Amino acid sequence: MTKEKKEITEEEKKLHKRFAAGLFNRTWDLMDKKDRTSNEDYEMIHSAHASRYHWEQIGTPVHFERGEWQISRVYSVLERAEPALYHAKKCLEICKANDVGDFDLAFAHEAMARAYKVAGNDAKRDEHLAKAEELGKKLEKKEDLDWLNQNLDEIKK
């Protein structure tokens, strides 16, 4: 039995957007924190998932795939390979199905490479690093390429 999504009000849309963006940013703050507690790790997981949920209510495929990317990143940071790979694959699927552009597709491959690194699969890590680097050559904005390369360099360490 499938439930149809009920129409949401403009006020509800504003709340979903506020929660989605705020939780996305909170997740980044926690990822960037040097000495996270185990409770903060737990919060980081839930804030990433909650952000993705709220984007699902009002967002676009770009929001969905970026949410999956962030969830994969969280699990990679926590060295949890299986969920990192699961969400990286979801990110890549959404990108491919929706033609979201080279920047997001490059970062979907970055997520795959990062997750495969955590999983200890160097061949798959290198395969996705190469795809991300190839897509990076198509990026027009220098800051986008710099951000991609910074992330890829982290994976290569």
Minimal CA–CA distance to 77: which of 39, 127, 27, 121?
A: 27
For 8, which DSSP code? -
Amino acid at 11: E
Q: What is the pLDDT of residue 1?
A: 46
Query: CA 152, 155, 156, 157 torsion: positive or negative?
Result: positive
**What residue segments make up the domains of the chain, in order of their start?**
10-156
Mean pLDDT in the chain?
96
Report the C-alpha gap between 74 and 89 in whole angstroms: 14
Query: Does residue 4 carry a pLDDT above 80?
Result: no
pLDDT digits (tens, 9 = 90+) for 62-119: 999 999 999 999 999 999 999 999 999 999 999 999 999 999 999 999 999 999 999 9
The backbone torsions φ and ψ at residue 85, rounded to the nearest 5 degrees and listed phi first, read -65, -40
What is the CATH code of the structural domain delimited by 10-156? 1.25.40.10
Neighbour-count burial of 41, counting CB atoms closer than 10 A to its CB (0-12 exposed, 13-18 middle, 19+ buried): middle
Query: Does residue 5 carry a pLDDT above 90?
Result: no
Report the C-alpha gap between 70 and 30 in whole angstroms: 12
Band the pLDDT of 130: cuts 50, 70, 90. very high
Query: How many CB atoms are closer than 10 A to CB 36?
Result: 16
Which pair of tokens denotes residue 86? 């699961």
